[in-house]
């Protein structure tokens, strides 16, 4: 078995840090999937706190894009991939576009016409 050098800035898939980050992402997805439809349907005006929470959620989703570029993964053969170029290539060809759409701040598209 050959030893592979893994840089310190690469997160391993089963590390404690990556596990905590995944838990944070689970809460972000639950918030987005459960609370946002309720808010859009039944709450007419946003409070300052709701706006702040929305921005925090968007920032954390954006941070997740960066974190994913530095997260090692196991390929189909069970081999640990820790090369930045391969990680980036794999991510760009899979979830990157959807992640970018998710973290886009759509509230900036709200125009004065839609408020009247």
Domain layout of the chain by residue ranges? 16-105
**pLDDT tens across the length of the chain (116 residues):** 567 789 999 999 999 999 999 999 999 999 999 998 998 899 888 889 998 998 999 999 999 999 999 999 999 999 999 999 999 999 999 999 999 998 888 777 775 555 55
The 10 Å Cβ neighbour count of residue 62 is 16
Distance CA 84, CA 9 (A): 10
Alpha-carbon distance values, 98 to 11, 62, 114 (Å) = 22, 12, 26
| Cα 54 to the center of its chain, rounded Å | 14
């Amino acid at each position: 078995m050959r030893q592979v050098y893994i840089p310190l800035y690469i997160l391993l898939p089963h590390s404690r840090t990556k596990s905590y980050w995944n838990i944070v992402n689970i809460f972000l997805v639950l918030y987005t999937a459960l609370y946002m439809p309720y808010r859009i349907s039944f709450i007419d005006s946003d409070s300052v706190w709701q706006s702040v929470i929305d921005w925090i959620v968007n920032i954390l989703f954006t941070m997740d894009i960066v974190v994913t570029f530095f997260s090692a993964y196991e390929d189909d053969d069970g081999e640990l991939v820790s090369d930045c170029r391969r990680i980036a290539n794999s991510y760009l060809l899979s979830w990157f576009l959807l992640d970018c759409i998710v973290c886009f701040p759509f509230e900036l598209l709200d125009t004065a016409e839609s408020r009247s």
